[in-house]
Amino acid sequence: QVQLVESGGGLVQAGGSLRLSCAAAGRTFSNYAMGWFRQAPGMERKFVAAISRLGGRLYYSDSVKGRFTISRDNAKNTLYLQMNSLKPEDTAVYYCAARSSDVYNANFREPDSWGQGTQVTVSS
């Protein structure tokens, strides 16, 4: 399995921006479709965004479309999530996930690996 480590979370005011990173190790990064999920307190973990193995296909949940951008750098084995126009309801622990089968829609299920998560808190 690929090992994943997220970073870049923190506290930001509403309307601000953050950029999350997810460093991958242990397997060939470009063999994995990648995704971001988030989990707010007391809520189930939910899909945020996904990107295909070579980065040509991007998918977003309706709640972040137009504000968040997922990208990857296969040469650096790193996944990113640029988050703009943040809202208090974006507050959650954000997880990256890897899946060996490629992604063709927003139905990014059954990842092979998860990161440990990074906290994002948006104050009003």
Tell me the pLDDT tens digit for each residue of 47-64. 999 999 999 999 999 999
For the chain, report the end-to-end CA distance as a whole number of angstroms. 39
pLDDT recorded at residue 109: 86
| pLDDT reading at 112 higher than 90 | yes
3-state secondary structure of 2: coil
C-alpha of 66 from chain center:
15
CA distances from 114 to 53, 60, 67, 88 (A): 16, 18, 24, 24
Residue 106 has pLDDT above 90, yes or no: no
Residue 73 has a CB neighbour count (10 Å cut-off) of: 12
Q: What single-letter amino acid sits at 91? A: T
Q: 24 CB contacts (<8 Å, ≥6 apart)? A: 2, 3, 4, 32, 77, 78, 79, 98
> CA-to-CA distance for 24 and 78, rounded, in angstroms?
6
Calculate mean pLDDT across residues 20-38: 96
Mean pLDDT of the chain: 96
